[in-house]
Amino acid sequence: MPERWLQVKGDPSVRAFLFEQRRVQSLFDENIDHVLHIMHELLVCKGAFHVKAHFSSSQLTCWFYDNPYSYRVYVREQATAAGFLDSLPNLSYEGRQPRIGVDRIVPVLDEFRRLRLTDEQIYLRNASINRINGMIGMTFSCDGSHYIDCEDFFRRLDCFGKDV
């Protein structure tokens, strides 16, 4: 991954109709605090090194360090069900050197909440955290994608609708 902020413009037809659309409340939106808690626990306690939340379609895509070449998809109610986290083994990060420390995960997730819910037209569609390579990935309703180092993400929050 690049050490810089990579921005990729998406489908021009999506951008052309940006201001004619509105965010539709999803299952993940209705349970956003719970979903963000699940993401936190996956990244801290369950051995997931990369978690991507697809807020609009209500799915989580996860890569776990004990099987890094395969991903798992948890869809809608499966991801928010009581006992979901208990169904996964606890895996320690001992011996691994993630670039995103535990102390940065909640602040990143808080920004994901803000970027998803603040604006009804320009909003976060999906977002990911990769603890190992330190990258944050985001795609917005304008179909633009951003890949940015975690620390750079915090330095550039003004570019995502917030003054630093």
Tell me if 1 is assigned to some domain: no
CB 44 within 8 A of CB 65: no
Quick one: CA dihedral 28, 33, 36, 37, positive or negative? negative
Tell me if 112 is assigned to some domain: yes
pLDDT for the residue 148: 94
Region 99-110: what's the mean pLDDT? 97
Tell me if 65 is assigned to some domain: yes
- pLDDT tops 90 at residue 96: no
Tell me if 14 is assigned to some domain: yes
Using one digit for the tens of pLDDT, what is the confidence trace for 33-67? 999 999 999 999 999 999 999 999 999 999 999 99
pTM for the model:
0.88
pLDDT for the residue 27: 96
Residue reference for tokens 């309703």: 141
Residue 71 pairs with which residues in a beta bridge? Answer: 63
Q: Structural domain of residue 137, as residue ranges?
A: 6-160
CB atoms within 10 A of CB 86: 8
Number of domains in the chain: 1
